[in-house]
């Protein structure tokens, strides 16, 4: 008699085991399976155990310092944006323009920009705390937030001056600039 190849014999054994009647509940059924070779598996890649990361002490100190400075900067910038029309009126008076009126849009836009600056700081604070807890490099988050807030303030100041031709013309006069600087010196010395 010719023996069947081992693969056919194994498949037949599995087929016959599947046809065995099931046992009643509570009885154990013992099935005899012929020895099957273990399936060939590729060796699993060996990963080194994760090494604990070192705390980034310098990054933490710099980040906390930048966040504290940023808090003062955000509050100061928001306050200046809130009262931007009054500051522009005072600047115009220092330049010798007594009848100057700031643009009507400057007040509401200044308030919105003040809120945006505070929101930028809040988002940078939240992101910084999350990154510090995850032990990731973080110092750049408050730096970026500070740059964005500064650019917002700068763009608003340029737009306010550009929308007031008389203020722009007065700021180009060297005598008016010297008056402005002199009045700034006198207010800071008092």
139-175 confidence digits (pLDDT tens): 999 999 999 999 999 999 888 888 888 888 877 877 8
Confidence of residue 24 (pLDDT cuts 50, 70, 90): low
- Residue 16, pLDDT > 60, answer no
Can you tell me which residue has the tokens 């009054």? 86
Contact (Cβ atoms closer than 8 angstroms) between residue 148 and residue 116: no
Rounded-to-integer distance, Cα 76 and Cα 181, Å: 22
Rounded-to-integer distance, Cα 56 and Cα 104, Å: 49
> Which residues, including other chains, have CB under 8 Å from residue 164's CB and lie 6 or more apart?
88, 92, 100, 102, 103
Of 3-12, 130-139, 156-165, 174-183, the least confident: 3-12
């Amino acid at each position: 008699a010719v023996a069947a190849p081992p693969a056919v014999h194994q498949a037949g054994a599995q087929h016959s085991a599947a046809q065995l009647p099931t046992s009643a509940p509570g009885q154990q059924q013992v099935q005899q399976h012929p020895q099957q070779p273990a399936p060939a598996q590729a060796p699993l890649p060996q990963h080194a155990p994760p090494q604990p990361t070192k705390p980034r002490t310098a990054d933490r100190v710099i980040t906390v310092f930048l966040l504290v400075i940023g808090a003062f900067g955000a509050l100061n910038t928001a306050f200046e944006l809130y009262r931007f029309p009054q500051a522009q009126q005072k600047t115009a008076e220092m330049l010798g323009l007594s009848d100057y009126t700031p643009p009507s849009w400057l007040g509401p836009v200044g308030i919105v920009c003040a809120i945006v600056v505070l929101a930028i700081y809040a988002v940078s604070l939240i992101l910084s705390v999350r990154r510090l807890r995850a032990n990731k490099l973080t110092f750049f988050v408050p730096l970026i937030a500070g740059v964005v807030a500064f650019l917002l303030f700068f763009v608003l100041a340029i737009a306010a001056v550009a929308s007031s031709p008389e203020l722009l013309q007065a700021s180009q006069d060297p005598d008016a600039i010297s008056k402005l600087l002199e009045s700034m010196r006198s207010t800071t010395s008092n």
